[in-house]
Amino acid sequence: MRRIGMLTSGGDCQALNATMRGVAKVLYNKLDDVEILGFMDGYRGLMHNDYRVMRPSDFSGILTMGGTILGSSRQPFKKMRVIEADGLDKVAAMKKTYRELGLECLVILGGNGSQKTANLLMEEGMNVVSLPKTIDNDIYGTDMTFGFQSAADIATNAIDCIHTTAASHGRVFIVEVMGHKVGWLTLHAGIAGGADIILLPEIPYDLDCVLAAIERRHKAGKRFSILAVAEGAISKEDAQLSKKEYNKKIASSPYPSISYELGAKIEEAIGREVRITVPGHTQRGGGPDPYDRFISSRLGAAAGRLVVERKYGRMVAFDGFEVVNVSLNSVAGKLKYVDPKGAAIQEAKDMGICFGDE
């Protein structure tokens, strides 16, 4: 019998269940004798030998279900090597579980941090197949991650809702979009939602450019302006700071987030009310959209095939519309950024969207 471990790690997102279903369907379909162990709450379950034996029926009906049936937890890589206060050597503990249970491999669904950990486990001698999970779409080595489009839908819908109220009342509105250190989600939601100004971490903004864009619209008789602002957006001044200085500045800021600070500055400059909306955690919640259900089924199935064929140390990925797989150690620890000079940005600028840099 082949015994396969499975876990979901990091912030939850849509299509985690759909992806696991894809993996499981292939394993049950192609292997005569297989057992899937699901570790609870990501690497925590692997560390503490907390798992349940999955049955085929556990994967039924979960294609459309949000969240993860296995639970998840954030387990930052940087602390992986550290011995915990209670004396636990995390990596050793995971290795022990892996060995004792006689696992043949681990199927790991995770974002950037989790991919790094997956790579570390591989280096420690465990077999790993990983899948690119994140609403941020920032995983190096794949053109698309599952969860991203569903999150983009929610962020876009938030902008849509704000659009009608902004238009009715003639207001400046900021919608703060998730995405961590990268701008993919804001870029897609901003364009799809018809935002007038889009601020991304990859393109530090100049407040004067932003104000000028708002004033241009105002003078052209447009009643409102909508800004899609990434939670990681940064001004040109702040981009000059060292990471330490910047973190210090943020820590002492009276504003809950960058959007509130920006909003206050705009309000002061233009003398008109600016409203802030933060869809927040709703962006990673709810069920996956049909796009994500399609791509996650494909990624899951491709990962299942890798397990069947014992091709380990790989992350399944999209190269354009094709599912491929890449070596885990070539991608772990690298971020995929929006290219400020890329075609998407250029097209958006051609349409008159302001990115705060010119």
Taking CB under 8 A as the criterion, which residues in 216-235 touch a second copy? Answer: 223
Question: Is-contact 257 106, C-beta < 8 A?
Answer: no
What is the rounded distance in angstroms from the CA atom of residue 7 to the CA atom of residue 37? 9
**Tokens matching residue 55:** 């049955």
The answer to whether 111 is annotated as binding is yes
By CB under 8 A, residue 277 contacts a second copy: yes
Per-residue exposure over 329-346, b if at least 16 CB sit within 10 Å of its own CB, e if not: bebbeeebbbeeeeeebe
Q: Which helix (H) or strand (E) holds 255?
A: none
Nearer to a second copy by Cβ, of 242 and 321: the residue is 321
Tokens 């050597």 correspond to what residue?
Answer: 89
By CB under 8 A, residue 252 contacts a second copy: no
For the CB of residue 239, give the shortest distance to a second copy in the complex, in Å: 26
Q: Which residues are the active-site residues?
A: 136
By CB under 8 A, residue 293 contacts a second copy: yes
By CB under 8 A, residue 110 contacts a second copy: no
Nearer to a second copy by Cβ, of 181 and 275: the residue is 275
Kindly list the distances between the CA atom of residue 149 and the CA atoms of 16, 108, 113, 288, 333, in Å, as whole numbers in the listed order.
13, 21, 20, 8, 23
The answer to whether 284 is annotated as binding is yes
**Tokens matching residue 310:** 């014992």
Tell which one of 45, 113, 193, 356 touches a second copy (CB under 8 A).
193
What is the rounded distance in angstroms from the CA atom of residue 287 to the CA atom of residue 110? 18
* Angle, in degrees to the nearest 10, between helices 16-30 and 290-308: 40
Tell which one of 33, 86, 268, 350 touches a second copy (CB under 8 A).
350
**Segment interacting with a second copy, rule: CB under 8 A, options 108-116, 123-131, 204-212, 346-354:** 346-354
Tell which one of 294, 333, 340, 357 touches a second copy (CB under 8 A).
294
**Tokens matching residue 33:** 């004798």
The answer to whether 280 is annotated as binding is no
For the CB of residue 22, give the shortest distance to a second copy in the complex, in Å: 6
Cβ partners under 8 Å of residue 29, min gap 6: none
The answer to whether 283 is annotated as binding is yes
What is the rounded distance in angstroms from the CA atom of residue 205 to the CA atom of residue 262? 11
Tell which one of 112, 115, 145, 283 touches a second copy (CB under 8 A).
283
**Tokens matching residue 278:** 């933060």
**Segment interacting with a second copy, rule: CB under 8 A, options 82-90, 118-126, 185-193, 202-210:** 185-193
Taking CA 156 as the corner, what is the angle to CA 340 and CA 161, rounded to the nearest 5 degrees? Answer: 135
**Tokens matching residue 207:** 């407040």
The answer to whether 282 is annotated as binding is yes
Binding mask 144-163 for a second copy (x = CB under 8 A): x----x--xxx-xxx-xxxx
By CB under 8 A, residue 123 contacts a second copy: no
What is the rounded distance in angstroms from the CA atom of residue 23 to the CA atom of residue 353? 41
The answer to whether 144 is annotated as binding is no
Tell which one of 301, 328, 332, 354 touches a second copy (CB under 8 A).
301
**Segment interacting with a second copy, rule: CB under 8 A, options 89-97, 114-122, 192-200, 240-248:** 192-200
For the CB of residue 251, give the shortest distance to a second copy in the complex, in Å: 15
Taking CB under 8 A as the criterion, which residues in 23-82 touch a second copy? Answer: 25-26, 28-30, 41, 63-68, 71-73
Of 94, 126, 102, 106, give the one whose Cα is nearest residue 20.
106
174 DSSP β-pair partners:
227, 276
**Segment interacting with a second copy, rule: CB under 8 A, options 105-113, 119-127, 235-243, 317-325:** 317-325
**Segment interacting with a second copy, rule: CB under 8 A, options 81-89, 116-124, 276-284, 325-333:** 276-284
